Amino acid sequence: MNTDSANSGGRRTVAWQAVQDHVARVSATPIRRWFELEPRRFEAMSLEAAGLFVDFSKNRIDAPTLQKLIDLARASDVENRRDAMFVGERINITENRSVLHTALRNLTQPELIVGGVNVLADIRQVRQQMFAFAERVRSGDWLGHSGKPVTDVVNIGIGGSDLGPRMVCEALKSFAHPRLRMHFVANIDGDALADVLKSVDPERTLFIVASKTFTTIETLTNAHSARRWFLDKGGSEKDIARHFVAVSTNRDAVAGFGIDPANMFPFWDWVGGRYSLWSSIGLSIVLCIGPAQFEELLRGAEAMDKHFRSAPLEANMPVIMAMIGVWYRNFLDASSIAVLPYAEHLHRLPAYLQQLDMESNGKSVTRDGARVNHSTGPIVWGEPGTNGQHAFFQLLHQGSELVPIDFILPVEPTHGLSAHHQLLVANCLAQGSALMNGKSLDEVRAELVAKGVANTEIDRLALHRSFEGNRPSNTLLLNRLDAASLGALIALYEHKVFVQGVIWNVNSFDQWGVELGKVVATDIGDILAGRSAATNLDPSTQGLVARILAKGK
Ligand code: G6Q
């Protein structure tokens, strides 16, 4: 196997060094100058795949540097590692698992044998079970215990069992079932559940308890409280089957909770939590948008999978986006990236991508078990435009941090307010352009002179009002925010994160930091409940516990 990745036992590789050699030269040239030096730059640095179009020409990069980055991807064995994922090799080496979320949206291949099992047959069978159930709920055929159709669906889950379905249901609101209101409860903070319970009718509410392990304390606590509420509001034990269903890999725990296993939608340990919206964890999505639209979501993702698997690295959208990210992270020292969807319904996308990216590549140990000697996953953040323009964009324009940006823009609206959409588009394109071009001191001076401002005042203000520019961005165009485009967009980011994980030589598919969170609270919970003493805690935490206990008395 080729081990020419970013860190193989702590040495810098030839391919890595070849990229490094470009830093000084490229850094000395502002992006807008590259458009003069490379006349067909927009055509060369843009790409269409799976219904998405990406313009990556507004980056601090030139053609030879991009080629060196692609060479680094090839030398890091991206192609073999990608193929290993698709065929089900156990690439999640710390949990000894395959990583097969791509199989969940494989709508065309007849079979995929992994460990002697045709996983595609299992996937398709569960999908039919989901679809049949969703059709009954959506048509009004599935009735609550007093004979009323469901009007409210409450998904109780956290992390990967919440963020994906929540984001997709928001994003595809324009395609939502008119009768069904979707609610998502994740937080252990009782306000999350209490707020939802205040607004729903127990006779018309369906709870989905979504938990891969069915051991997560937040989800189980919320689910038990919802069950108690349901019983208190007049439901009986036997009615639970009409109001509670489960999505999990843990059949015994589901039965133990009191949910009939006939109302359980299974999935498999080779689906990572943050990659699970394509599985039965997406039940809330199917209820919201219906089976046909859910299939469109899968189809969009599958189209991106096919592109990722077959396009040469030089024309491969996830690979290019990944390597541009590596360029900023490792060679130009950018510590964060901003994802700015110009689409109100994509307001949960940054939160979703935070988990996808930061949980996958927020690692400091290589796959070979050594400490990394390079930076790994960046901080991901963002908010929809245009709102952000009236807030943190200031820092993007004039701050001292380099923050590469992904603008995401649907070309056609899903509403009828075309004047709004035109302004939205104008704002998005204007920001990308202004960030790159900036405004020189001379331009500011000329503007102020034209306005008749006195020279002394011009001297005082000019620097404040100038913009150095050279702030990079990708612009991703979706035809419109529909299921297929969204599927392709999510898969694009999944694969981008995968490629970066290969370059950084980390396992993108475990999450020991999250697991830690699942256990550390138990001890303090025992102390707060008076079941044990605070003797093992550090002095700071001990002080906080004492103060909180004293206030509670
Ligand atoms: C995702 C993580 C994590 C997980 C939640 C919920 O990749 O592992 O976010 O999804 O902790 O876990 P359960 O689905 O098992 O409740």
How far is residue 355 from each of residues 31, 172, 361, 381, 490, measured CA to CA in Å?
31, 20, 10, 10, 12
Check: CB of residue 282 under 8 Å from CB of residue 164: yes
How far is residue 455 from each of residues 143, 154, 464, 499, measured CA to CA in Å?
76, 63, 15, 53
- Give me ligand 1 centre to Cα 161, in Å: 6
pLDDT band at 517 (very low <50, low <70, confident <90, very high): confident
pLDDT band at 521 (very low <50, low <70, confident <90, very high): confident
Q: Kindly report, residue by residue over 363-384, the tens digit of the pLDDT.
A: 999 999 999 999 999 999 999 9
- Average pLDDT on 389-410 reads 97
CB atoms within 10 A of CB 476: 23
Omega of the bond prior to 386 within 30 degrees of 0, cis?
Answer: yes
Residue nearest to atom 2 of ligand 1 (CA): 273
What residues does ligand 1 touch, defined as CB less than 6 Å away? 158-161, 211-213, 216, 219, 272-274, 359, 511, 514
How do strand 336-341 and strand 405-412 relate by DSSP bridges?
Answer: parallel
pLDDT the model gives residue 2: 39
Instruction: Return phi, psi of residue 375, to 5°.
Output: -70, 145
- Can you tell me which atom of ligand 1 is nearest the CA of 216? 16
Q: Kindly report, residue by residue over 193-224, the tens digit of the pLDDT.
A: 999 999 999 999 999 999 999 999 999 999 99
For residues 127 and 516, the model is more confident at 127
State the Cα–Cα distance between residues 5 and 72, nearest whole angstrom.
8
Residue 359 is among the residues annotated as catalytic for this protein: yes
Mean pLDDT of the residues in the chain: 95
Report CA torsion sign: 305, 306, 307, 311: positive
pLDDT band at 516 (very low <50, low <70, confident <90, very high): confident
- Give me ligand 1 centre to Cα 193, in Å: 19
pLDDT the model gives residue 552: 73
Q: What is the percent of the chain with per-residue pLDDT over 90, rounded to a whole number?
A: 92
State the Cα–Cα distance between residues 335 and 403, nearest whole angstrom.
8
- Give me ligand 1 centre to Cα 166, in Å: 14
- Average pLDDT on 5-31 reads 81
Per-position DSSP letters for 434-497, written without gaps between them: HHHH-B-HHHHHHHHHHTT--HHHHHHHTTTT-B-----EEEEEEEESSHHHHHHHHHHHHHHH
**Residue 185 in this model has a pLDDT that exceeds 50:** yes
Residue 183 is among the residues annotated as catalytic for this protein: no
Angle between the 78-86 and 483-504 helix axes, to the nearest 10 degrees? 130
Q: Kindly report, residue by residue over 289-336, the tens digit of the pLDDT.
A: 999 999 999 999 999 999 999 999 999 999 999 999 999 999 999 999
State the Cα–Cα distance between residues 54 and 338, nearest whole angstrom.
16
Single out the catalytic residue among 170, 203, 359, 494: 359
Alpha helices in 140-282 (DSSP H): 163-171, 190-199, 217-232, 240-243, 251-257
Instruction: Return phi, psi of residue 453, to 5°.
Output: -75, 140
State the Cα–Cα distance between residues 533 and 527, nearest whole angstrom.
6
Closest CA to 289 of 227, 215, 345, 225: 345
Q: Kindly report, residue by residue over 81-96, the tens digit of the pLDDT.
A: 999 999 999 999 999 9
- Average pLDDT on 497-504 reads 98
